[in-house]
Structure 1
Amino acid sequence: MKKILMYLVATIALAGCATRQISADQAQPVPTDRVFAFNTAGDGASGQLVVTRDVGAVGGACPLALYIDGTLAAHLRRGESVTLTVPAGSRIVSASFAGKGLCKWGDESAHRREISHMVTAGNKTSIRLALAHDGLIQVSPTAF
């Protein structure tokens, strides 16, 4: 009986664990071996895009693949942040699960979430990557 009660309590506790936002300053930087593009200034006008992934239990073991205009830019684990130098203008920012095994979740494109985000030359803007309690990826602008 005690064992069943412990499993029940653990299940209830984990079921309500959505991710929690942190600022880019609180986050750990993404290691350079997981930054694949947009890590140097290119030709033309550009701005900085700071992408920070929430902390929390939901999906914590699985990295998120970050795409800018369809180009794989980085893999972020929970509590990490990356600053990318991207061309100015309207950009499509996408995220999907990355990794192997359970992290693949079958068809990656079925779980990909995208937003259009304006990058202004010489300015810095921020994006938040979060996972809802149901495991859906959320990509949204943030002031933090």
Structure 2
Amino acid sequence: MVGYGSLLLVIMAAVGGLIILALGLLAFRIAGDRSSTCPPMPAAYRDEDGAWRRGTLRFTEDRLSLKGSGGLSVGPWMRGNLDLGVAGPLATQDADALGGAALIRVPVTYGTSRFEIALGEQHYTALRSWVEAVPPGWNSQVA
């Protein structure tokens, strides 16, 4: 028969393990946030046949990703392969679905896949500038 002391010890070990796991995940998330070249930007993502999903748009030196709620992410997409289409206003029903915010819809092509990103005007300007800028090391071997 197991005594109450050993049962308490097992429960304390399990709680301690969960605390260590939570701290590790928090440290991993903080380290990921520090690697981005700009502050995270609120945005929404929709693939060709899906509904809008809210998230946080992040870009580093060469990658773009969208982290959704609960830590789920879409991407990463390599900077040189992204093709931003012509931005336009978000449809009324889509704006209502996203809380009625004044967002810009941007069609994006990445290789053979297509999707849309909805974000604020100032964030769109930052994204467009980042995509169109020369990636670091792009012509590093040119004399």
Q: TM-score, normalised on structure 1?
A: 0.30
Choose 1 or 2 for highest CA Rg: 2
**Normalization by structure 2: what TM-score?**
0.30
- Larger % of strand: which? 1
Structure number having the greater helix percentage: 2
